[in-house]
Amino acid sequence: MRIDKCVVSIEDWQMQSSGKPFKVGDRIEWSVWKQSNNPEEYADDVDFIYENFGITVPYKIFRLSGIVLEIKSEYYRTEVQLIDEEVPVDKLIYEKSYNITEANGKDKDKDGLRFASYRIALQDCILLPEKY
């Protein structure tokens, strides 16, 4: 399936563990799943979530290729929330993003905010079923 443009989110740990650096203008090919499988966790403008360990997720995995049009590094602050009024967990709250020209997973925290993900706009995309 051809898609003119789409947006992919890559979480910091995915890129740091085994992601390959990329830059604006590169043609990429990634395993992804559709954001609509987990809408509470991702922004409305994100179409796909990068998945480097696809065999373990309960969602259908696709192979996406496209040309990198834009890269944003996203920063969050942490807020403690209670689950069932007993268990404290850290919740990430989006604060700021920066346009960058290349991504390598080595972004540093800044201005008291934590680097958490990349949001990548792609063009001239092709989406195919993943083969495992």
44-69 per-position pLDDT tens digit: 688 998 988 766 667 788 999 999 99
Taking CA atoms, 105 is separated from 8, 10, 12, in Å, by 15, 10, 6
- Structural domains counted in the chain: 1
Given a cut of 60, is residue 131 above it in pLDDT?
Answer: yes
Given a cut of 80, is residue 99 above it in pLDDT?
Answer: yes
Residues forming beta bridges with residue 11, ordered by sequence position: 117
Structure-token pair, residue 86: 């007993």
Q: Indicate the SS3 state at residue 13.
A: helix
Domain of 67? 2-129
Instruction: Look up the pTM and report it.
Output: 0.82
Q: In sequence order, what are the residues at sequence separation of 6 or more whose Cβ sits closer than 8 angstroms to the Cβ of residue 113?
A: 75, 76, 77, 95, 96
